[in-house]
Amino acid sequence: MVTINIALLAFIIASIAYIMKEVWKPEILRKASLAIFIVGFLLNTVLVVNRWIESGHAPFSNLYESLIFYAWSVGFVYLILEYLYSLRIVGALSTVMIMFLLLYASTTDETIRPLMPALQSNWLTVHVVTYFIGYAALGISFLTSILYLVWHLRSRTSLAGGPMDFQKLSYKIVAFGFPFLTLGLITGAVWANKAWGTYWSWDPKETWSLITWLIYLLYLHTPLVLPRMNIDKAKIPVVQSVCLVAAFAAVIFTYLGLAYLPSASDSEHIYGNK
């Protein structure tokens, strides 16, 4: 039986392989690192499926289940983007992100509990899957924006025309993830209406989900807005990358940070450590 520790070990080995690939750059290591990542992803898949079978419901009901599914989502989206764009060093950082998610999950309560009546709906699966696919893409866009900022600070020049323009890649990844974020928001409203008789109740999670959505909507409009704000053209990619870092902070706060707010303690939308 696959345990979280086995999946975590596979991603640790994958991260080492990715780092070795970046240092020595032989083609065999590029293929090996991706192959080990795929093994880790498959183990994560088995972990999610096992939990689904054992619990008898979609594994999204508590923090542990959401973390292992978020880790799976990051792996899933990374493999799609790797196929489309050949992400290179982003693979190493994506692997580390998955490792942290699984490591965090290993510290939480794994107890299987029955779903409350409001969660016993197919909308739970649709809503959570779309949201986490969106969150995964936004997480990877955060990584590419960090890479851009680090590279920019080292070179003090724009990366346009470099080996990989991480800022443009970040924009493409957000454009990929934003529709899923939008679907998550819409399906959540439909589900809320069926469960509680209202599409929107300004619950803290709902409010911050909307705030996060608006932040990324504004980011997607930055290519139109920033050039009209009398900002140095060379600095626009830096501003966009900083915006993405701040935007993903909003994602993490919406996903995990709200659990620490007293006002959200009674919310049925919050993933607490339970």
Among residues 38, 36, 78, the alpha carbon closest in space to that of 173 is found at 78
Residue 63 has pLDDT above 60, yes or no: yes
Quickly list H helices, 56-121. Answer: 63-85, 90-106
d(CA 262, CA 204): 10
State mean pLDDT over 78-101: 91
Q: What is the dihedral of CA 155, 157, 163, 165, to 10 degrees?
A: 120
Q: What is the pLDDT of residues 126-136, one digit of tens each?
A: 989 999 999 99
Residues in contact with 272: Cβ distance below 8 Å, sequence separation at least 6, in sequence order: 62, 63, 259
Residue 154 has pLDDT above 60, yes or no: yes
Percent of residues, the chain, with pLDDT higher than 90: 46
pTM score, two decimals?
0.90
Please tell me which residue, 233 or 270, carries the higher pLDDT value. 233
What's the chain's average pLDDT? 86
